Structure 1
Amino acid sequence: MIPSEFDYVAPTTLDEAVSALSDAGEDAKVIAGGQSLMPVLRLRLNSPSTIIDLGRIEELRGVREDGDAIVVGAMTTHHDVMTDDLVGRHAALLAEATTTVADPQIRHRGTFGGSLAHADPAGDLGAVAVALDAELIVAGPNGRRTIDAADFFTDFFTTALEPDEILVAVRIPKHTDWTAHYEKFHRVAQSWSMVAVAATVAVDGGTIGKAAVALTNMGAVPVRARAVEEALVGQSADIDVIRAAAEHAAEGTDPMSDANADAEYRTHLAKVLTRRAVVTAAGV
């Protein structure tokens, strides 16, 4: 199939893009890398009147330091995120999780901001943003505002972005001395997560001093596994402690049943994958 007819706008600055989106109305769509939107358009699951292409806006690309955080531009490709020195040094969880996104071709075209704004519950990077306490910077006709990652995802494929707002960048607090692992369960290579776990810990002298764990595809939005974190912090980094903590992984989740797995199986996976993710992150 081919998309329905639409107007195409390719601004070169963020201000132009915000203005174009505001003028186009609520049925306009913003395209970043296009790896999620293009299949939707081809199947006519959405028929926007206007497509606003962010591909020519250089100010939305790149990674920079900002005091105790790093800032990743929304149009930074997955490939550039996973190979960036600042990301590898200060947000190892993001670097590792990004290597599991789809395949090399998509990682060279798809963007960090586009993935977050698409808000697919099976997408890999939402849980990472939540685990790292990221802040998402958005711009609209009334200026810029910041949304905590925990508040950004509101439902299936739905975010706190207003119809006339554009995701500009993601600010991630530095987790410089933390180790991390992203454990993903999927049926075939390069597919969406059936369930996945983003885990990052800070271990000092054999004790887990800090921990952050979030789950992919255990509900309509990424879920922070607070009970797991509480069971880990202050405890020895050994397998028995981690196994016991992982039993809390499904608390506060609402897994769906679909053609890939039922809710009970996803609950089982959450516990198993949490144990694996934390064990690997802690180097046990």
Structure 2
Amino acid sequence: MQPGEMIPTRHAYGEELVALGGDLPNLVVLEADISKSTQTYRFARAFPERFFQMGVAEANMMLVAAGLATTGKIPFVSTYAVFGTMRACEQVRTFIAHTHLNVKIACSHGGVTPGNDGVTHQATEDLGIMRTIPGMTVIMPADYHATRRLVRAAAYYSGPVYLRFTRDPVPVIYTDADEFVIGKGKVVQAGEDVSLVAIGDFVAVALEARTLLAQRGLSAEVLDIHTLKPLDRDLIVASARKTRRVVTLEDHQIQGGLGSAVAEVLGEECPTPMRRIGLRDTFAESGEYRLLLRKYGMDAEATVAAVMELMK
């Protein structure tokens, strides 16, 4: 995949699972009856003896994954983000995280990307929920290459991990040569006037906003914080000290997610004027994804407006 091409990150997840299946004979996949949507059907075809179709029973699926982890397996558990983090929250917290089991919870359809499926399928609180669970690592890759690298890293990472993917296609930003380390963000583009700190598919939104800001004579630094927890505090503080202004971007409620995490860091280490792009204590309605971003002030134009407020 080349920069500029469009592909959902869930497709990269499905492809990397198959590659990992050949490398790790103890890797197993559990699915909640939506393998075409989550792309785990690819693993099912390649390794049917290591694929478990659990049906629409997410809480039980997490318990089975916990049991498999105690036997030395590496379970990847897949469903929609809204179900994996809410319907099964108690099981994730008490039976996976509390015992620090090596379970990877890999969920698709994060944020408002389910679009027309509406609020029942839009996970806009999941990052905040998972971030507050002790010992849980939380990751959302920005594009195809980041997804493949970070899924592989998660498979070799000890302990519970939450991975969040998109339903809709997102632009390819990186190349196959780019490296990713869990807990270490990336400077996608350097800048001097403002730091655009983004997670997941909103890295592309930040890059679009950067182009618009350049037309106004402003230089924006774009950070990809693919790991929400553990957060790369050093990178965020260094960027904030350089630009003196911060805008966070996420497909999530502004409470509890990236915006909150960055505000906590800056409040403790480097007080900086900032704005947060995301849902503002509201549920999104049904609709086409890009139109929803515009309606709720989560697109590149809204980001530019937030930056201009900080420039006053």
So what's the TM-score if we normalise by structure 2?
A: 0.28
More helix by share: 2
Higher relative contact order (CA 8 A, sep 6+): 2
So what's the TM-score if we normalise by structure 1?
A: 0.30
